[in-house]
Structure formats: C-alpha cells, structure tokens
Amino acid sequence: MLEPLEYDPECPFPYNNFIYRVDMIRQTPFMDSHGLRQPGTQPIPNGVTTFILQLTNAAAGLNDANRVQNEVAAMSLARDALRNQPTQLIPAVYGWGSAADGPQGWILQDLKPGCPLSREFNAISFEDKKAVLAQMAHVFGLLQQCQILDSIKEYGGVDFDWSGNIISAPMTLVNGGPFPTLNGWQDHGTRRRLEAFVAQGLTSIFKAMDFARKVLVHGDLTTDNILFDKKILRLTAILDFDWAHIAGISDEFFRSFSDVGGRLQGPCINNPNKRALRKALLEGFPDHLQNLSCGIPWDVAKAWNGELAMRGVESQRRYGT
C-alpha cells in the first residue's frame, strides 16, 4: 500500500520530492543484481515491512545528475557524526536510484517515528521549547564536527566513486562545482578591494576563525525537517538532506534555523525588527526582549543562541560577520 505524505495539491510551487509511506504485507528480500549492497545503504532488518519511498521531482529545477547520490552520501556522513547517540536520528537507506538514470530518482529508507516538529513547536510551553532547542543545538554541534573524509577534496556536493568512497561532486542547488576554494565571484574590482582590506586588517582574524574549514551543511535545517515525539519531548529524526553540501562553517547560518529565529539575513533589511534580530545574532541579545507580536520569536531566538553558546557550538557571532 502506498500513502502520500506531506503533500498539498494546492501548493503554489513544485515539491522537490514526492514522499510515500510503503506498507508491505510481508517482507520481500531486497538485493541488487550482483548481490552487493549499494554505497550508503544498509540491509533491511528482518521483519521490517514499512518504509519511506522518496521520488525526485524534475519540475523542481534541481541538478538531477547526482542529487540522489548527494543526499545518500550526505546522510551517510551525518549518520556517522551521530553514531554515538542513544538513538540514530538519520534514517537508514536501503536502496536508491539516480535521477540521471530514469524519469525519477528514488531513495528507499526506514520509517522514523514522530511527527514534524513544526506541528507541535508553537503549542508547547517555553520550558519545553528550551528542552527541544537544547537537543537541536547538541545535534547541530555534532554535525558541525562531522568528519570530512580525505576523499572529499573540494567544496560543493558529494557522490560515490566506483569503489563506494564519498567524493566531491556538483551541488544539488546549482549546476556547478565542485569548487576548490570558497572564493567566488569577480565584480568590477570590488573583490580586489575587499581582498586588499582583508590583507591589511583581517588576516589574523580569519585565521583564528578557521573560516574555510570544510563542514557538512544540511542546507535546510528547520523544524519542518525534524521529527519529534511530544510525549517524551525527544527528537526522533533529522530529515531531507536534499540540499546538503560541503561548505564553510558559516554557510548553515545563512540557510537554516529560520523558524527558531536563528537564520542570519543580510544587512539590507527594511524591517527594523529583523534588523534588530540580525544585530542580536551578531552581537548578543539584550536583556530586554523586543515585542513578541512582531512575528520574530525573540525569546526562542535568544534561547536557541544561548543553547549554542552553552555547548560551545560555533555560531553567527563568530562567523556571521
């Protein structure tokens, strides 16, 4: 039996993937044609008959050449980073097919318990929110310390070579890469002036920050992509590594945590409350919190950044400037 999950037919934009719950009457042994497991996969445990099937959507406009491989490889890296946790939060992958080899790519993975944290987060008490944020900060700290293998030599996406090693590859979000450095654009001498400024005054600071250290970036780490068990106030899964990539340590803060007040926006913001939040993220939160009716969860944002600091997790205050 197939059951679509998290699908809204009235959604105004195309879904990146279509997600289904698959229930089988009995387990059918899974094995590829050569009797060998694919890279990044695990054997299906005996007796398991319920799975998650993820199908790529070409209409999303993502780089289909290695998007499935990128997600599976990133999940493998993340699973290893969280290997010592009491419960493994990264779903096991049982099989996959590249989006480049057919009309749709696919990933078959285990079904994790819980519901999206986004459904419950606003309804729970502030003390319970803090307990959840503490878990999120702990998990994020472990992902920051994910071991980037020697075979991953560049920034960008990841893939598997013929031996099953994880290697550098193009990104899912852009048709480019991998990239040898974090240096990017050239624009009418602006880059040259910025580099001169860095060389004259900020070189020692950048060295101390270890700005270019390669890390695994989830790319969309929000409460929508975290499963949660309300009864025991525990995270049960981290999902959706479709946009994951290897980048500098600051990149996650520009892409994730928007719904807990932790996403760092650029300086050209018209909304004064959002400018105030940006200043707080970079310089520290004031004792007096802003009006909560502005739509920005100031108390949550302060608690989130407090949990990062308590655990020694690198945050915007060091890397966002």
Q: Name the token pair of 213.
A: 């250290």
The model's pLDDT over 258-306, given as tens digits with 9 standing for 90+, comes to: 999 999 988 888 888 888 889 899 888 888 776 655 677 889 999 999 9
Domains of the chain: 1-111 (3.30.200), 118-148+218-238+252-321 (no CATH)
In terms of average pLDDT, the best of 34-38, 79-83, 280-284 is: 79-83
Q: Name the token pair of 37.
A: 């497991």
Residue pair 95/33 in contact by the 8 Å Cβ criterion: no
For residue 109, CA distances in Å to 87, 147, 151, 228, 291 come to: 16, 23, 25, 18, 43
* pLDDT of 73 above 90: yes
pLDDT score, position 321: 45
% the chain with pLDDT above 90:
63
Q: Name the token pair of 236.
A: 């049960």
Question: Nearest-CA neighbor of 301 among 251, 253, 239, 243?
Answer: 253
Q: Name the token pair of 200.
A: 């004259």
* pLDDT of 209 above 60: no
Cα–Cα distance, 68 to 91 (Å, whole number): 15
Q: Name the token pair of 21.
A: 């719950």
When pLDDT is averaged across residues 161-171 and rounded to a whole number, the result is 96
Contacts of 119 (CB under 8 A, 6+ apart): none
Which phi and psi angles does 145 have, rounded to 5°? -95, 10
The model's pLDDT over 211-249, given as tens digits with 9 standing for 90+, comes to: 678 999 999 999 999 999 999 999 999 999 999 999 998
